């Protein structure tokens, strides 16, 4: 049996390991932490459960596809679809509850934002068409293999290139709405890949289709169940895990990978898949291999500052996902991407899983995950930024929800971009690898294979096709397909 080593048990590494196991490899995952899941992790604190990373679950079939590889194994993984994706709040008292039923969304958005129904309908239809035209080329195949370009799907995408909106920004596309609040609502989707709506190309108008067209879901037991159920499956099918064993070197001979080294010794392997962020993979594990500097110097995606708060009361006006919008979105993104700091009036995201799983908080309490978008770690004074932004977040909540939330916080845990980098080795604490702040970003992501070292592959949010749970799962699929063809 051939051996495969996977570096890292993030969602990308777990998915790659399962796919390789299915192809018949003997698979070992080396993970520096003592748990699987990487960013998809959770903690319990003072009677509250908090998902630490992702909170929004879309395209659940990509997880199910992994269970389907091993139909004989029964794993407890369920989820429900959400009728409302987000509750959106503005300082002036406007509240919009975004339905995941498109007719209802159009009806409600037209009433709240005084926008023509036909304009919203056309926008959602275009979002769907863009997604369907491009998913095969940009999301499901390697963009770095010539064969990808000899397909009908690619020809279709190229023919429709002017329609895709590559030459303008997401904000340009969304400024067609009369009401700036609706523009802001659709601009927010740039943050789903850690980018700025004022820089990311108009093709990103496809993202709302993922949430509003294909649905928003919540896994039974919380987001952590996604990584835990895949971990359980991997164990059942014989994937071996070596926790607390950081890979320190990828070993090669004559431009071919031979295995990995850790502080415990050397391990030989027929192939290696790195789920570690691509920048430290080159800088720390492949010091003797010339790094692709242009690829590695791509601007990183945004990071996040998160307060996990136990709250001693309930808020019926809030749902699972809630957004409290800033007054000046452009300034907010300029602060993040240009000034590498935080705006005075940030957009605040509040995720409350106890709305769905009552055991996540004591009775009558709620578990708040309060996040603002943040620049990566460039050596800022995070202690000071945490202190300032906590005050600003409390002020924002006061404006939108008319409550002094500071009086209701019973417990607190904080994660900064520095903490995210420390936990998972993600370069600068970026949530989604490289940002998509220019039209060439998709092509400049690192491929899923290594052009210099044979039998070395790459999966996860820092390589093609990008970050976020669905894209990480797709990266594992692309990688496994390449391995099947090439090995």
Ligand X SMILES: Cc1cc2nc3c(=O)[nH]c(=O)nc-3n(C[C@H](O)[C@H](O)[C@H](O)COP(=O)(O)OP(=O)(O)OC[C@H]3O[C@@H](n4cnc5c(N)ncnc54)[C@H](O)[C@@H]3O)c2cc1C
The nearest distance, CB 17 to ligand X, in angstroms, is 11
For residues 56-95, which are near ligand X according to CB under 6 A? 56
- Is residue 468 a known part of a binding site? yes
- The single residue among 38, 208, 376, 419 that binds ligand X, judged by CB under 6 A, is 38
For residues 291-330, which are near ligand X according to CB under 6 A? 304, 306
- The single residue among 4, 6, 13, 205 that binds ligand X, judged by CB under 6 A, is 13
Position 472 contacts ligand X (CB under 6 A): yes
Stretch that binds ligand X, among 52-60, 138-146, 229-237, 353-361 (CB under 6 A): 52-60
Beta-carbon contacts of 267 under 8 Å, excluding residues fewer than 6 positions away, are 5, 28, 30, 259, 260, 261
Cis omega (within 30 of 0) on the bond before 168? no
**Residue-by-residue DSSP string for 19-43:** HHHHTT-EEEEEESSSSSBTTS-EE
Position 376 contacts ligand X (CB under 6 A): no
- Is residue 210 a known part of a binding site? no
For residues 381-420, which are near ligand X according to CB under 6 A? 420
E-strand stretches of 366-455: 366-374, 409-415
Do 467 and 433 form a contact (C-beta atoms < 8 A)?
yes
Closer to ligand X at the Cβ: 133 or 276? 276
Give the containing element (helix H, strand E) for 273.
Answer: strand 271-274
Assign residue 306 a region: left if phi > 0, alpha if psi is -120 to 50, beta otherwise? beta
Per-position x/- string for 247-276, each x denoting binding to ligand X as judged by CB under 6 A, each - no binding: x---------------------------xx
- The bridge status of strand 247-253 relative to strand 256-262 is antiparallel
The nearest distance, CB 19 to ligand X, in angstroms, is 13
Stretch that binds ligand X, among 35-43, 123-131, 142-150, 396-404 (CB under 6 A): 35-43
Tokens of 284: 């720390």
Closer to ligand X at the Cβ: 8 or 310? 8
Position 426 contacts ligand X (CB under 6 A): yes
Position 196 contacts ligand X (CB under 6 A): no
Adjacent-strand bridge partners of 42: 51
The nearest distance, CB 126 to ligand X, in angstroms, is 23
Per-position x/- string for 116-135, each x denoting binding to ligand X as judged by CB under 6 A, each - no binding: --------------------
Tell me how far apart the alpha carbons of residues 318 and 89 are, in angstroms, rounded to a whole number: 10
DSSP class of residue 169 equals: B
Helix H segments across 349-381? none
Tell me how far apart the alpha carbons of residues 225 and 19 are, in angstroms, rounded to a whole number: 19
Position 226 contacts ligand X (CB under 6 A): no
Do 221 and 357 form a contact (C-beta atoms < 8 A)?
yes
The nearest distance, CB 146 to ligand X, in angstroms, is 26
Position 9 contacts ligand X (CB under 6 A): yes
- The single residue among 226, 324, 469, 482 that binds ligand X, judged by CB under 6 A, is 469
- Is residue 56 a known part of a binding site? yes
Position 32 contacts ligand X (CB under 6 A): yes
Helix H segments across 54-179? 61-68, 102-113, 117-134, 152-159, 161-164, 170-174
- The single residue among 219, 310, 346, 467 that binds ligand X, judged by CB under 6 A, is 467
Tell me how far apart the alpha carbons of residues 229 and 211 are, in angstroms, rounded to a whole number: 23
Beta-carbon contacts of 152 under 8 Å, excluding residues fewer than 6 positions away, are none
Closer to ligand X at the Cβ: 184 or 246? 246
* Interacting residues with ligand X (CB under 6 A): 7-13, 30-33, 38-40, 53-56, 246-247, 275-276, 304, 306, 420, 424-426, 431-432, 460-461, 467-469, 472
Query: Annotated binding site for FAD: which residue ranges?
Result: 12, 31, 39, 55-56, 247, 275, 431, 461, 468-469
């Amino acid at each position: 049996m051939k051996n495969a080593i996977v570096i890292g048990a993030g969602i990308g590494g777990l998915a790659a390991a399962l796919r390789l196991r299915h192809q018949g490899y003997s698979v070992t995952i080396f993970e520096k932490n003592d748990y699987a899941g990487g960013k998809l992790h959770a903690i319990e604190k003072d009677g509250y459960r908090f998902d630490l990373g992702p909170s929004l679950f879309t395209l659940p079939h990509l997880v199910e596809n992994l269970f389907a590889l091993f139909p004989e194994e029964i794993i407890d993984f369920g989820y429900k679809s959400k009728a409302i994706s987000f509750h959106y709040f503005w300082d002036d008292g406007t509240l919009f509850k975004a339905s995941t039923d498109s007719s209802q969304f159009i009806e409600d958005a037209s009433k709240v934002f005084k926008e023509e129904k036909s304009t919203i309908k056309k926008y959602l239809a275009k979002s769907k068409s863009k997604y369907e035209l491009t998913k095969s080329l940009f999301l499901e195949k390697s963009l770095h293999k010539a064969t990808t370009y000899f397909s009908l799907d690619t020809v279709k995408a190229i023919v429709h290139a002017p329609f895709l909106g590559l030459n303008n920004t997401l904000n340009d596309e969304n400024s067609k709405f009369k009401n700036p609040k609706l523009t802001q609502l659709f601009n927010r989707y740039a943050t789903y890949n850690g980018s700025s709506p004022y820089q990311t190309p108009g093709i990103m108008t496809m993202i709302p289709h993922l949430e509003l067209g294909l649905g928003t879901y919540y896994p039974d037991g919380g987001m952590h169940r996604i990584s835990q159920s895949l971990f359980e499956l991997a164990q059942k099918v014989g994937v071996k895990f070596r926790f607390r064993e950081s890979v320190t070197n990828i070993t090669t001979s004559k431009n071919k990978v031979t295995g990995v080294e850790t502080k415990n010794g050397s391990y030989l392997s027929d192939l290696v898949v790195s789920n570690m962020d691509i920048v430290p993979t080159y800088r720390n594990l492949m010091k003797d291999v010339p790094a692709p500097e242009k690829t590695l110097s791509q601007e990183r995606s945004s990071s996040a500052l998160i307060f996990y708060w136990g709250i001693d009361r309930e808020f019926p006006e809030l749902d699972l996902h809630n957004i409290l919008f800033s007054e000046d979105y452009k300034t907010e993104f300029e602060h993040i991407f240009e000034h590498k700091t935080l705006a005075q009036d940030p957009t605040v995201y509040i995720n409350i899983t106890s709305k769905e799983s009552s055991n996540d908080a004591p009775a009558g309490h709620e578990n708040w995950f309060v996040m603002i978008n943040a620049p990566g770690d460039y050596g800022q004074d995070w202690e000071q930024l945490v202190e300032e932004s906590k005050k600003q977040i409390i002020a924002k909540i006061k404006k939108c929800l008319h409550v002094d939330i500071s009086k209701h916080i019973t417990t607190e845990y904080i994660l900064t971009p520095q903490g995210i980098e420390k936990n998972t080795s993600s370069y600068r604490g970026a949530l989604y690898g490289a940002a998509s702040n220019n039209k060439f970003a998709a092509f400049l992501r690192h491929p899923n294979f290594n052009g210099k070292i044979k039998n070395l592959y790459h999966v996860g949010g820092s390589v093609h096709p990008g970050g976020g749970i669905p894209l990480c799962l797709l990266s594992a699929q692309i990688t496994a397909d390449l391995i099947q063809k090439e090995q």
